[in-house]
């Protein structure tokens, strides 16, 4: 039986059409067209017209590449042809009002991992679909200050060996790959399930000296391997591309940590809640994983500003829960409790 196309999946989701579902479907279709244009430009590499040159800094202080701006322009133009009231982007200080009567708001990181552009590492586009609330033309920021549980859907494109779309519209996390032969996205994986346990973690270990004690203790225990309190060997992975690390976890499990640390400007982490952490958390939870700010569920955090940053831990549910215990009740971790010495009765 041939694999389902993205169009077939979207038609199935549409079911009995209503305004919101119809808007979601139309918007996803516009996003795929825009992502295909981005992929074609990325594939030209340094031979293309928009690549890895530096423009300056965006509204949140991060260095912008030429391709960041190019991608933002492509997606903004695509959303002008979708039922979207408001467009918010990492590259723009304020949301853009497109159609005050449209039912959706989209928050997007047009080109995640752009620092990897000139090293040929996978990069991507992350998006969050929200209901437009209140009066979009009066208070455009309000639609983006909703907790992540209110998302109607979320996803990311990853520009790697294949152009893939990871998408959830509230019923599992599905993966589609662009077929150049068919000229459309085809479902590669249906309803991904992340294993609850893992022996793989992703973190930038160069920041070890800046971490809080709970993070250091967790990583120490993993690194001690089979001889340590976890009694199993761990592998470390760190691509420094959020979409690439997330895609790997969706494929084979693992846990990702980008905690806050003691460096100036890093106390609240570096990932943005609205257009990075929320959509990733939505995808991870729909795949039976978990996502927190080390303690609180990401999707329950009420954003205070569009570009708000947040510490992020996501992946295999039991490992995420364990990391929370390192922060909230380290004495309850069996192998660290004095009563049970280093090898306790409550090993994971």
Find tokens 């846990």 and name the residue: 255
Q: Is 231 annotated as a binding residue?
A: no
Q: Is 18 annotated as a binding residue?
A: no
Q: Is 148 annotated as a binding residue?
A: no
Q: Is 60 annotated as a binding residue?
A: no
Q: Is 112 annotated as a binding residue?
A: yes
Number of C-beta neighbours around residue 256 at 10 A: 27
Q: Distance (Å, rounded) from C-alpha 278 to C-alpha 282? A: 6
Are the C-beta atoms of residues 258 and 311 closer than 8 Å to each other? yes
DSSP run (H or E) holding 187: strand 184-189
Q: Is 224 annotated as a binding residue?
A: no
Q: Is 56 annotated as a binding residue?
A: no
Find, among 230, 226, 298, 309, the residue nearest to 267 by Cα.
Answer: 309
Edge-to-edge strands, sheet with 235-237: 235-237, 200-202, 255-258, 312-315, 290-292
Q: Is 171 annotated as a binding residue?
A: no
Q: What are phi and psi of 182, to 5 degrees?
A: -90, -20
Tokens of 327: 């922060």
Binding residues: 90, 109, 111-115, 204, 276
Binding residues for Mg(2+): 90, 109, 111-112, 276
Binding residues for substrate: 112-115, 204
């Amino acid at each position: 039986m041939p694999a389902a196309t993205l169009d077939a999946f979207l038609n199935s989701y549409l079911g009995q059409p209503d305004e919101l579902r119809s808007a979601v479907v139309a918007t996803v279709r516009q996003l795929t067209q825009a992502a295909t244009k981005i992929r074609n430009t990325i594939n030209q590499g340094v031979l293309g017209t928009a690549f890895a040159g530096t423009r300056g800094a965006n509204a949140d202080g991060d260095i912008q590449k030429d391709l960041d701006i190019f991608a933002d322009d492509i997606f903004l133009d695509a959303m002008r042809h979708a039922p979207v009231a408001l467009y918010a982007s990492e590259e723009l200080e304020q949301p853009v009002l497109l159609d005050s009567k449209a039912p959706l708001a989209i928050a997007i990181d047009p080109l995640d991992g752009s620092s990897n552009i000139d090293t040929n590492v996978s990069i991507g586009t992350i998006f969050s679909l929200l209901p437009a609330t209140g009066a979009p033309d009066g208070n455009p920021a309000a639609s983006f200050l909703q907790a992540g549980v209110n998302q109607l859907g979320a996803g990311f494109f990853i520009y790697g060996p294949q152009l893939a779309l990871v998408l959830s519209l509230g019923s599992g996390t599905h993966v589609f790959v662009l077929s150049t032969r068919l000229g459309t996205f085809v479902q590669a994986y249906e309803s991904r399930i992340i294993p609850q346990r893992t022996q793989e973690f992703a973190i930038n270990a160069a920041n070890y000296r800046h971490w809080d004690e709970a993070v250091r203790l967790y990583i120490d225990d993993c690194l001690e391997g089979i001889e340590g309190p976890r009694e199993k060997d761990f592998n470390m992975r760190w691509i420094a591309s959020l979409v690439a690390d997330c895609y790997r976890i969706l494929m084979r499990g693992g846990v990702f940590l980008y905690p806050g640390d003691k460096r100036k400007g890093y106390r609240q982490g570096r990932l943005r809640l609205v257009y990075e952490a929320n959509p990733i958390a939505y995808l991870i939870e729909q795949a039976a994983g978990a996502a927190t700010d080390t303690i609180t569920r990401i999707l329950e955090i009420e954003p205070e500003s569009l570009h708000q940053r947040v510490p992020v831990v996501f992946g295999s549910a039991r490992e995420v829960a364990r990391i929370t215990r390192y922060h909230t009740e380290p004495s309850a971790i069996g192998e660290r409790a004095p009563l049970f010495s280093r090898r306790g009765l409550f090993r994971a």
